Amino acid sequence: MSQYDYIIVGAGLFGSVFAREATDAGKNVLVIDKRNHVGGNIYCENIEGINVHKYGAHIFHTSNQEVWDYVNRYVSFNGYVNSPVANFRGKLFNLPFNMNTFYQLWGVTTPEQAKAKIEEERAEFKDMDPSNLEEQALFLGGRALYETLIKGYTEKQWGRPATQIPAFIIQRLPFRFTFDNNYFNDLYQGIPIGGYNTLTNALLEGVETRTDINYFDDQQHWNGLGKKVLYTGKIDEFFGCALGELEYRSLHFETQVLDQENYQGNAVINYTDKDVPYTRILEHKHFEFGTQEKTVVTKEYPHEFSKDNEPYYPINDELNNALVKQYKILANAPEYAEKVIFGGRLADYKYYDMDDTIEAALSLCQKELTQD
């Protein structure tokens, strides 16, 4: 007899939402996680009274009403609007690309002037059918914008020439002709009041959770404890990388406590020059309008992925997408399909934002928890 209805492998956002919904639907669940804390990559560590985003900046944003209503059942949001600034060789530019940026780049002061300037800048590229990120960027905004704000950052971030990066990655960057520095186009955004751990703790309230447990140390044991397993880790690892290893981009973080109140005046400053080894500096207190005496800053360095690093970004190029397709076929084979559910950023191998993760988890709940 299985002791639990579901063993949930991974206490990140996907696993936590499913755990909450399954528990509320009367299921008996156990969540295990190999880390020494729950929350996955949204986990924050309290340093000097400041919530430090241990696994990189997380800014909640969505236009999905269902997802927004869902998270607001558990936390309130603080109205933070993400407005990163780019530093290129000591000069500052507003992001995303908007009238402020165009003024800083070219001195243009009206939308009409900005549009005319961009048309001039992209003239030689406008008949292009972009097949990679570099071409996409040149096609959108021409060379100056590309070389000042995109090329260096992107090549550091992905560790390869922009000509070898899929074009869709840059489509995440809005391009607008108003003086609006809001990085996202979404209807709703903010940071949970009390930090992300408040959200995770609310989702996992009353749910049996064990940390410091590596599922793969005794897979048979954990599988045996549940009628079903929800696996939210890397899909290739589940199958012992039998078909090959999926590639990821990783990050290294260098965090410092500074004995000053305000280091950079913004939560996020991107360093878009290739010669600066990090891509951005986070000053965590500004995500929550902190007034602490000290400040905590983190330099974010892109890094090759290996077994000793965290898998942050899937590399959704043709090769890796083809490989993940093969793994998904394997996952759908009857011996797995009846027992194991795969879900979340790592199992789906998708560049999910938090709202995508919640949407996917809720859609799984809909399918899985309303059957009987």
Mark residues 151-170: x for contact with ligand UDP by CB under 6 A, - for none: --xx--x-----------xx
Which is closer to ligand UDP, CB of 28 or CB of 87? 87
In the bound state with ligand UDP, the residue whose beta carbon lies nearer, of 23 and 298, is: 298
CB atoms within 10 A of CB 171: 12
Q: 350 burial class (0-12, 13-18, 19+ CB within 10 angstroms)?
A: middle
Backbone angles phi, psi at 341, to 5 degrees: -105, 135
Q: Judge whether 122 counts as a catalytic residue.
A: no
| Residue 172: active-site member | yes
Identify the CA nearest to 280 among candidates 260, 295, 301.
Answer: 301
The active-site residue out of 176, 186, 301, 336 is: 176
Q: Is 44 in the site for ligand UDP (CB under 6 A)?
A: no
Which stretches within the chain are classed as H helix?
13-24, 65-72, 99-106, 111-122, 133-145, 151-158, 196-203, 219-225, 235-238, 318-331, 334-337, 345-348, 354-369
Instruction: Supply the minimum distance, in Å, between the C-beta of residue 353 and ligand UDP.
Output: 7
Among candidates 106, 16, 13, which has minimal Cα distance to 60? 13
Active-site position among 74, 278, 301, 351: 351
Whether 351 is a known active-site residue: answer yes
Q: Is 176 a catalytic residue?
A: yes
Instruction: Provide the minimum distance between the beta carbon of 264 and ligand UDP in the complex, in angstroms, as a whole number.
Output: 15
Enumerate residues 78-97 that contact ligand UDP by CB under 6 A.
86, 95
- Of residues 272 and 298, the one with the C-beta less far from ligand UDP: 272
Q: Contacting ligand UDP (CB under 6 A), which of 13, 22, 38, 150? A: 150
CB of 142 to ligand UDP, least distance (A): 14
Q: Which of 149, 204, 235, 282 binds ligand UDP (CB under 6 A)?
A: 149
Active site residue 247: no
In the range 262-301, which residues lie near ligand UDP by CB under 6 A?
270, 272
Q: Which amino acid is at 21?
A: E
Residue 345: active-site member: no
Residue matched to tokens 């800083």 = 104
- Tell me, yes or no, if 273 is annotated catalytic: no
Q: Is position 172 an interface residue for ligand UDP (rule: CB under 6 A)?
A: yes
Closest CA to 61 of 80, 39, 75: 80
3-state SS class at 49: coil
Catalytic residue among 66, 172, 210, 304: 172
Burial, 322: exposed, middle or buried (Cβ in 10 Å; 0-12, 13-18, 19+)? Answer: exposed
Active-site residue, from 20, 280, 288, 368? 280
- Which residues, 6+ apart, have CB-to-CB distance to 103 below 8 Å? 109, 114
Asked whether 97 and 149 are in contact (CB, 8 A), the reply is yes
Instruction: Find the part of the chain contacting ligand UDP (CB under 6 A) among 65-73, 147-155, 194-202, 364-372.
Output: 147-155
Asked whether the beta carbons of 44 and 195 are under 8 A apart, the reply is yes
- Identify residues 321-340 at the interface with ligand UDP (CB under 6 A): none
Q: Which is nearer to ligand UDP, 51 or 209 (CB)?
A: 51
Binding site for ligand UDP (CB under 6 A): 86, 95, 149-150, 153-154, 157, 169-170, 172-173, 270, 272
